[in-house]
Amino acid sequence: MVTITFPDRVTEKKALAYLLGRFSGRVLRTGEHLVPEAALEALADQNIPFSVKGKATYGEQLAALRGTAPASVQ
């Protein structure tokens, strides 16, 4: 998984519309996106601009899967 960002919200929506159903991924609270490396080539082929922040760490991937902490049970 690779961490990427988009230059603006319009580009981000266009990219998400294209990626949805083609690749799995996650959107982090920071606005960054975790996508598989194959998605980078697909975005480039569609002329969608993005910036690569680097490989996602294990902690980032795990946090994206877990999401927010569940409410405590009483």
Model confidence pTM above 0.85: no
- pLDDT score, position 66: 60
The answer to whether position 20 is within a domain reads yes
Structure confidence by residue, pLDDT tens digits, 11-63? 999 999 999 889 988 888 888 999 999 999 999 999 999 999 988 777 776 66
**Is 2:54 a contact under the CB 8 Å cutoff?**
yes
C-alpha 27/C-alpha 3 separation (Å) is 9
How many other CB atoms sit within 10 Å of the CB of residue 23? 15
Residues spanned by the domain of 6:
2-66
- pLDDT score, position 58: 74
**Is 56:1 a contact under the CB 8 Å cutoff?**
yes
The answer to whether position 72 is within a domain reads no
The answer to whether position 59 is within a domain reads yes
Q: How many domains are contained in the chain?
A: 1
For residues 2 and 65, the model is more confident at 2
The answer to whether position 48 is within a domain reads yes
